[in-house]
Amino acid sequence: MSLLFKHFRIHQIFGANTDVGKTILTTALVRASASVKKTSTGPIEDADDEYEFSLCGSLRRRLNTVLYRFHVPVSPHLAAQIAAGGEADKIVPDDTFLNSISSYVRRNASRVSGPAHLYLETAGGVHSPTLSGVTQLESYRPLFLPTILIGDSRLGGISATISAYESLLLRGYIIDAILLFRDQYYRNSEFLTPYFAERGIEVTAVDAPPPKAVDAAENLASTERYYESVNLLPVVQNLDLRHQQRFAELDSMPRRSIDTLWWPFVQHGLVKSETDVTVIDSASSDFFSRPASSLESQLDGSASWWTQALGHAHPALTLAAARASGRYGHVMFPQATHAPALLLAERLLHDGPGKGWASRAFFSDDGSTAMEVALKMALRAFSVRAKLEGTERKALGVLGIKGSYHGDTIGAMDACAEEGVFTCEWHNAKGYWFDPPTVSIQEGRAINDYRMNPTNSMSWVYDLTGRLDSPLAQVYREYISHTLDGLERSGGPRLAALVLEPLVMGVAGMVFVDPLFQRILVDVETGAGLPVIYDEVFVGLYRLGMQTPDISVHAKILTGGLVPLAVTLAFYSTNKAEALLHGHSYTAHPLGLIEKEVRSEPWAAAKARWESDGTPSVMWSLWDPRFVKALSCLENVAEVMALGTVLSIKVRDDQAGYTSQSAQLLLQSIRSTDHDMESFASSGVPPFSVHFRTLGNVAYFMTSLNTAPETIRTVEDKIWKALGETKRTSE
């Protein structure tokens, strides 16, 4: 929703405090802009009822129906409360206001032919509350407008100006200029000018206006003289220059990136032109802001490779990280402790995924590394227990499921089968991997590979207790025991650990393994004395009816996606283990913890939607069950599956595989925005495109834990439109 247009430079003006001269300095900016813009612009709309706009002028949130009832100003939230007589639904929500600014600006941006300027003056200080009680710099953040800060020239104003700057910086704002009055006595600008020069921002001090004259005509004349004496033309030119530089930077980034970056998992030969590169100018909640004709919103459809869980640039996470950084920086961890690491460990062990079984937490910095730690723990435990020596230890293997993926470091790769492109020179798959029986929704019904499913219901599929006595359970048991016997006879590697991704194998193409099969495998191997490792890096902190493991691995969601952090939880006592000679420098980086889990109304509603399907279920998703089922009936769709935040769509494609482009091509259209302003007006959802990743013939979509339901519905509509062009099969 960011607003940035080549020929229409817009700045928002924040105050370091109230009463620092925002309106006067904004007016001076408008006059300076007007003086250079004589040749420019087509017609810009006049103000509407609620807000006052003017050509090259100041858009000020006047709140005229509310604020003007009072003789002296109060904070907008208080004005709104009083005006609404305490009735919350009479208060204008912030997003309505933002949409209104956004649509006004977009309409006019397409009208102006030459360069034009617009200044949006905010009310009070940077953190003054808006009508709905959020503070201003957070409320306006989705627009990500370049910013001018009006400093405070009074006693205490140095502090107020720097603190306001830091609050803006914590929200990522780009601050292009600082203006303030010149005060001969306090001389704040003398301190602030070099202070901000070091931080790349120019400070301009301007004489304060003369005292108000009693006579109205004289007042007008002296005001006019004052404005004539104030020359902000250099500031305006500097703002123009920065604006141009920003576009030059954005325009040059794709080429420069192609020339310098080696991207992960990208076939660089396929990056043929600059338009193949996604430039991310900023991000907010579930959206990237990326340059197209202007900046456009693009839904981060893979939740940035499954890392982000609470939206991009979440202020609470930024503040938690900043607080830890301000208190510790990075401090070393061996034989040391600090509150953030200890509290996180305790929470994970006593009230999280380790509850009831794990006794120790080992921190590292990514999922692949944490898996290597898990493997080292498990293999060592097995070796010690089985009293293995020398080469026997080196020859151990693991038991797993085909399609598993545990990371890209060699040890993590060695715990996976060698399949297709996922291999390299030193990869040496060590173990045996079962072909997995999977579950999915096909033609509206829950299906497992054996089609042994008495109710066709997903709730039933995930009701493991109920299914343990089913005929299919017996089939699985026999298959497992038969396979293991054969393996032993054929002299396969000695198996030392069972390694599973519970529920879903992400990289394999979002393969949902029948949880009953995994459950029985765990039961069998636990019985045989093998350590069991769950790789929950993808699946997060989400586990359904599975037995507890001996070791589990978590990452990504652990910091809400903000910084790399991983943890290996283990049952083992460290007294018995030797020193684990594995140590990344960043073990237990002291950063903010996981946001409290979302127990929100949208989650309750989503659960209810899936339950209406049948009996209360442990299996549900933020995606609509009717949409999921309808999708599974489309001709070009082989199968669909949804669980939690993930939606996976396998399209029909004879040449399936990781390098297949079929899903990519079929859904290509949702990558671009339809600038449908009418649908925007009616739905209230601003237009956006969708950024998504595919795995061969599988397209998957992943939301945050708190993505707005309207956004998910809109994505469903977009997918439906893209895939539904082929005839829908009868239900």
Window 633 to 662, contacts with a copy of itself (CB under 8 A): none
Binder of a copy of itself out of 214, 216, 217, 579 (CB under 8 A): 579
- Pick the stretch among 4-12, 30-38, 43-51, 126-134 that binds a copy of itself (CB under 8 A): 126-134
* Nearest distance, CB of residue 597 and a copy of itself, angstroms: 16
Least Å from the CB of residue 308 to a copy of itself: 6
CA distance 534 to 645: 20
Q: How far is CA 168 from CA 99, 630, 642, in A?
A: 21, 45, 39
267 belongs to the binding site for a copy of itself (CB under 8 A) = yes
**Binds a copy of itself (CB under 8 A): choice among 49, 87, 89, 425:** 425
Whole-angstrom distance, CA of residue 373 vs CA of residue 379 = 10
Residues 275-334 that bind a copy of itself (CB under 8 A): 276-283, 288, 300, 302, 304-308, 311-315, 317-319, 321-334
Looking at residues 236 to 255 of the shown chain, list those that interact with a copy of itself (rule: CB under 8 A): 249, 253-254
Beta carbon of residue 110, minimum distance to a copy of itself (angstroms, whole number): 27
Instruction: Pick between residue 57 and residue 506 the one whose CB is nearest to a copy of itself.
Output: 506
Instruction: Examine residue 96 and tell whether it contacts a copy of itself (CB under 8 A).
Output: no
Contact call for residues 617 and 347 (beta carbons, < 8 A): no
Assess 129 for contact with a copy of itself (CB under 8 A): yes
664 near a copy of itself (CB under 8 A): no
Helix (H) or strand (E) holding 381: helix 367-385
Task: Count residues binding a copy of itself (CB under 8 A).
Answer: 162
Please report which helix (H) or strand (E) contains residue 460, including its range.
helix 458-461
Q: Contact between 433 and a copy of itself (CB under 8 A)?
A: no
Considering the complex, what minimum distance in angstroms separates the CB of residue 56 from a copy of itself? 28
Give the H or E element holding residue 77: helix 76-83
Q: Is residue 265 part of the contact set for a copy of itself (CB under 8 A)? A: yes
What is the closest distance, in whole angstroms, from the C-beta atom of residue 337 to a copy of itself in the complex? 4
Residue in this structure with the two tokens 């949208």, named with its chain if needed:
602
CB 157 within 8 A of CB 16: yes
Does 582 bind a copy of itself (CB under 8 A)? Our answer is yes
If one asks whether residue 711 binds a copy of itself (CB under 8 A), the answer comes out as no
Minimum CB–partner distance for residue 201 and a copy of itself (Å): 12
Q: In whole angstroms, what is the distance from residue 445 CA to residue 527 CA?
A: 34
Closest CA to 587 of 412, 353, 338, 350: 338
Verify binding: residue 700, a copy of itself, rule CB under 8 A.
no
Residue count of the chain: 731
Residue 428 binds to a copy of itself (criterion: CB under 8 A)? yes
List the beta bridge partners of residue 532.
498
Of 497-556, which residues contact a copy of itself (CB under 8 A)?
Answer: 555-556
- Of 120 and 321, which has the nearer Cβ to a copy of itself? 321
Residue 493 has, within 13 A of its CA and on its CB side, a CA count of: 21
Lookup: tokens for 514: 């029948």
- In angstroms, what is the minimal distance from the CB of 723 to a copy of itself? 23
Residue 383 CA to residue 4 CA, distance in Å, equals 61
SS3 360: strand
Integer CA distances (angstroms), 715 to 598, 623, 650, 676, in order: 21, 10, 17, 15
Token digits of residue 513:
């393994």
Q: How far apart are CA 50 and CA 52, in angstroms?
A: 7
Closer CB to a copy of itself, residue 317 or residue 500? 317
3-state secondary structure of 117: strand
Q: Could you say whether residue 17 binds a copy of itself (CB under 8 A)? A: yes
Contacts of 323 (CB under 8 A, 6+ apart): 592
Pick from 101, 120, 345, 461: which binds a copy of itself (CB under 8 A)?
345
521 with 546: CB under 8 angstroms?
Answer: no
Strand 175-182 to 287-291 pairing: unpaired
Q: How far is the CB of 282 from a copy of itself (least distance, A)?
A: 5
Residue indicated by tokens 């500097």:
238
Three-state SS across 389-403? CHHHHHCEEEEEECC
Site string for a copy of itself, 149-178 (x = CB under 8 A): ------xx-xxxxxxx-xx-xxxxx-----
Q: Are 522 and 480 in contact (CB under 8 A)?
A: no
State the amino acid at position 684 in one-letter form: G
Please tell me the distance from the alpha carbon of residue 4 to that of residue 300, in angstroms, as a whole number: 20
Among the listed ranges 38-46, 53-61, 355-363, 597-605, the one in contact with a copy of itself (CB under 8 A) is 355-363
Residues between 174 and 203 with contacts to a copy of itself, criterion CB under 8 A = 185-188, 191
Of 30-38, 262-270, 474-482, 676-684: span binding a copy of itself (CB under 8 A): 262-270
Nearer to a copy of itself, 232 or 504 (CB): 504
Which residues, in sequence order, are CB contacts of 573 under 8 Å at separation 6+?
A: 359, 360
Q: For the CB of residue 171, give the shortest distance to a copy of itself in the complex, in Å.
A: 4
468 lies in the site for a copy of itself, by CB under 8 A: no
Residue closer to a copy of itself (CB basis): 55 or 690: 690
What binding mask, one character per residue, do residues 378-397 give for a copy of itself by CB under 8 A, x or -?
-xx--x---------xx-x-
Residue 334 CB, shortest distance to a copy of itself, in Å, is 5
- Yes or no: say if 512 and 504 are a contact pair by the CB < 8 Å rule: yes
- 263 lies in the binding site for a copy of itself (CB under 8 A): yes
Cβ(722)–Cβ(669) below 8 Å: yes
In angstroms, the CA 327 to CA 17 distance is 27
Which residue's CB is nearer to a copy of itself, number 410 or number 593? 410
Among the residue ranges 60-68, 427-435, 464-472, 615-623, the one whose residues contact a copy of itself (CB under 8 A): 427-435
Of the pair 92, 570, the CB lying nearest a copy of itself is at: 570
**Contact pattern from residue 588 through residue 617 relative to a copy of itself, giving x for each residue in contact according to CB under 8 A and a dash for the rest:** xx----------------------------
What's the min distance (Å) between Cβ of 673 and a copy of itself? Answer: 17
Based on the shown chain and the rule CB under 8 A, indicate whether residue 403 belongs to the binding site for a copy of itself: no
Parallel, antiparallel, or unpaired for β 445-448 and 396-401? unpaired
Our finding on whether 146 is near a copy of itself (CB under 8 A) is no
Distance CA 112, CA 669 (A): 29
Q: Under the phi-then-psi rule, with left for phi > 0, alpha for psi from -120 to 50, and beta for the rest, what region is 484?
A: alpha
Q: Is the torsion defined by CA of 664, 668, 670, 672 positive or negative?
A: positive
Nearer to a copy of itself, 124 or 686 (CB): 124
Strands 566-570 and 360-364: antiparallel
Q: Which is nearer to a copy of itself, 296 or 366 (CB)?
A: 366
Rank residues 335 and 682 by Cβ distance to a copy of itself and give the closer one.
Answer: 335
Q: Which amino acid is residue 288, in one-letter code? A: F
Which range of residues in 216-224, 358-366, 438-446, 626-634 is near a copy of itself by CB under 8 A? 358-366
Tell me if 261 contacts a copy of itself by CB under 8 A. yes
